Amino acid sequence: MATLFGLGRRNTKSNDTDWSMLEDALGPADAIPSLIKSLESEDRKSRQTALEALEDRLIHQGAFVFEATPHAVPVMVKALENEDLLDRYAIVRMLIKIGHGVSVFEQFDQSDALQDAMKQQLNTPEMMEQRKRNDEWVQNAHRAVRGAVPAIEKLLLSSDRRLRSWATFFLGEFGVEDPRILAALMGIMRSDTNSHVRATGAFAVSRGTPAPVVAGEIKNALDKEGHPLTRLVMAMSLARLLKEYTPEEVEQSIVKALVEPEMVEEAYADLPWVQNKLHVDVIACLSILGEEALQRTLNALSASDKDTATASVKPLLNRLLMSVFYKRPKQTPEALTLRQKQTIMYLTSHKNLWSEHYESSLKDILKAFKLPTDRMELIQYVGMTPSA
């Protein structure tokens, strides 16, 4: 239980860190300095082993902060000064995870499956005090990461494309509120020599910055950009900022990634923040623009006979119905809103969706929403006249 909740050893030394008096996710944190030192190894396997061990101990499961974590941050930041270090980007990546890290108690706060005995144990005075200490570790870790902004900014000058990209992403997460950092990120977006880094710059400047401040800059950069990946990220960043006010040509740049994913799919997966498949992120972005944008996207996809376009139709249909029903309907046809009826009638009027190529996907989604799967029955269900 001590390790699970990170009880800590209450280090009171104010000068050099006594790692033996600190705990990480696995117990005493004595190994942390040697693991950081191992990052200097020329052997790739040794470096990878050290990185995995550090992450397991300092930001367990990619999420949980422990007592030793805030103490390790400045040591890792110092290591970034060594230009001969081969995996500096991976250190920056770990710092980003720490900057978003949480207390181990949060996994229990969000669980509905805890037994009563466990709940009682979590609410004892001792555990409440430990929760307070864990919260302090998280706050200190976040503060330490934000304190690394000046050091990370220097990495924007590196010749290592991957390092520049991760440094740009870091600054978008933790430094973009600073006008000087924002200006540097805009410069990256406009003029970095690498398309990945320019794309990351566009994503970074859109993070937490009011739309009027950056939307015009991103749009100007998009108009001059020629690389398909960078154009896509710029367009998606604009859409998240402008929402329903997104210009049609920007929307079309996003839709193109679903119609012709082979142009950007592999490169998109290599961007620092990406965790989902391309079509998942693109459809989520388009859904911000509203059901009319989703309908226009369906029109574009259903006009294509590419298998890659076909694969996106089903999740698009699901998003479209979710956007108007919010949850799967149980109401009678009489209880449907006008907006819901209009969306259903759009589907009944869309001949391509009822073609052999797409009908199976459409019927699967209609069934999931407990709607009639026959076109004529669907028209009768809604009680409206379909358009020609």
For 48-62, 182-196, 330-344, which range has the lowest pLDDT when averaged over its residues? 330-344
Residue 387 has pLDDT above 70, yes or no: no
Residue 79 has pLDDT above 50, yes or no: yes
Distance from the first to the final alpha carbon of the chain: 67
Residue that is last in its domain, among 89, 118, 147: 147
The answer as to whether 124 is a domain residue is yes
Pair (163, 94) in one structural domain: no
Q: Which domain holds residue 17?
A: 1-147
Pair (348, 295) in one structural domain: yes
Number of domains the chain contains = 3
The answer as to whether 353 is a domain residue is yes
* Section 73-80 average pLDDT: 96
Q: Which amino acid does the sequence have at 69?
A: T
For 265, counting Cβ atoms within 10 Å of its Cβ (0-12 exposed, 13-18 middle, 19+ buried), the class is middle
pLDDT band with cut points at 50, 70 and 90 for residue 2? very low
175-234 pLDDT tens trace: 999 999 999 999 999 999 999 999 999 999 999 778 888 999 999 999 999 999 999 999
Residue 97 has pLDDT above 80, yes or no: yes
Cα separation, 60 vs 69, whole angstroms: 10
* Section 302-311 average pLDDT: 74
Assigned token pair, 282: 């693109």
Pair (108, 192) in one structural domain: no
Pair (183, 142) in one structural domain: no
Residue that is last in its domain, among 127, 147, 167: 147
For 121-125, 160-164, 218-222, 353-357, which range has the lowest pLDDT when averaged over its residues? 121-125
Pair (135, 251) in one structural domain: no
pLDDT band with cut points at 50, 70 and 90 for residue 13? very low
Helix (H, G, I), strand (E, B) or coil at 227: coil
Q: Are 58 and 29 in contact (CB under 8 A)?
A: no
Residue that is last in its domain, among 276, 305, 334: 276
Q: Are 369 and 329 in contact (CB under 8 A)?
A: yes
